[in-house]
Structure 1
Amino acid sequence: MSRPPLAREKVLDAFERILIDEGERAATMDATARAAGVSKGGLLYHFGTKEALEAGLIVRLAELVDEDVAAIESAAEGPVAYFLRSSVMENAPLDRAIIAASRLAQSGNAPAIAALHEMRARWEDALRPHTRSTAALDLVMLVSDGLYFNNALGGDAPLTVVPRGEALEAVIALVEEAIRL
């Protein structure tokens, strides 16, 4: 009888947590098995190598990006407003997958680098029809990057420079005015 998919997800969750909290060097197979509460054999059942574990994380990221792009495209408030509002990190599964993949990319992991480039390209493709020019699209992406980065720096206590409430709404309104078709 095969193991339930929950065990596989627990292993990926543990690997992701170690990457985020301690970095790529600490994210060994042994450390991941311990953190997931599974035996090394249990881990190897789902991921035979560290490369397979990394690939599993990248697949998770791609699936979460698929969900995010669908949400962008169907957002009642509009794609740009949704995208900018969701750029303020909230420790959501997508946020954690991005940070974990970024840790892998920082160590030169080519598939992680490619996945992060693909993520950005998918977001740009979803937003492009809602901007008047390449410069307007670049503005949206740069504001998003700034919101995300500044919030990421704050850890448990986000930096006060990250707009919230009325300030975030003002940023969104300014960007939407600048990019209007």
Structure 2
Amino acid sequence: MSSSRERILDSFEDALIRDGERAATMEAVAAAADVSKGGLLYHFPSKEALVDALAERLRGLAERDREIMVSAPDGAARYYVRTSVFEDSALDRALVSMARLAQQNHPTAKASLAEIQERWLDALESQLGDRTTARAVKLLGDGLYYDAAFFASADTGRTSADDIEELLGVVDLIVAGRPLR
């Protein structure tokens, strides 16, 4: 069983994803986590403390993902695109919840997302040797993720393994054509 602190943070994340920042009140989070408001305040004395903890969670998950990416046997570029499919993982949930905050111009959310994006781009550039090529690969993966996270429905389903393989072929072409400058 997860700790009260983790349940509270999970509930905050769920509320942001499902209902947005305005609905993610301290009271709603406490009720969803099945803790008293005092119990919530013990762990997170303010909503800003919840945001800071969520940002820290996201940074940790993204850093683990970046470490896997840089050591991926088939390369960082293929890894980035191959894993750019929304799967409702802990990383996906943290990204979407932080994006909900960033949509409301929350400075911590915007800074955290910018930092993570820059770290992923740096990892791609390190492997590819060129920032423009790295950006092309990153934008391909980001577009795939955005499409899967925000537009896939029960009618259209998820991106198929064949679709991913076709896109990885494009990645191979981009990587083989480097540098672009």
Shift of 1:156: 5.5
Shift of 1:134: 2.4
Q: Does residue 1:167 correspond to 2:163, yes or no?
A: yes
Q: Name the counterpart of 2:98.
A: 101
Shift of 1:80: 1.1
Q: CA RMSD in A?
A: 1.8
Q: Name the counterpart of 2:10.
A: 13
Instruction: Give the distance between the partners of 1:50 and 1:8, measured in 2 at CA.
Output: 14
Shift of 1:152: 1.1
Q: Name the counterpart of 2:125.
A: 128
Say if 1:151 and 1:159, in contact at 8 Å, map to a contact too: no
Which amino acid is 2:113 matched to? L
Q: Deviations over 1:13-53 (max 9, x none)?
A: 00000000000000000000001011101101100001101
Say if 2:5 and 2:43, in contact at 8 Å, map to a contact too: yes
The range that moved more, 75-84 or 86-95, is: 75-84
Q: Name the counterpart of 2:33.
A: 36
Q: Name the counterpart of 1:177.
A: 173
Say if 1:131 and 1:179, in contact at 8 Å, map to a contact too: yes
Match of 1:86 among 78, 83, 89: 83
Q: Does residue 1:140 correspond to 2:102, yes or no?
A: no
Instruction: Give the distance between the partners of 1:7 and 1:169, measured in 2 at CA.
Output: 42
Instruction: Give the distance between the partners of 1:167 and 1:16, measured in 2 at CA.
Output: 30
Runs of 4+ in 1 over 6 A off after TM superposition: none
Instruction: Give the distance between the partners of 2:65 and 2:140, measured in 1 at CA.
Output: 18
Q: 3-state DSSP class of the match of 2:87?
A: coil
Q: Which runs of 5+ in 2 are unaligned?
A: none
Identity %: 41
Q: Name the counterpart of 2:56.
A: 59
Which amino acid is 2:169 matched to? A
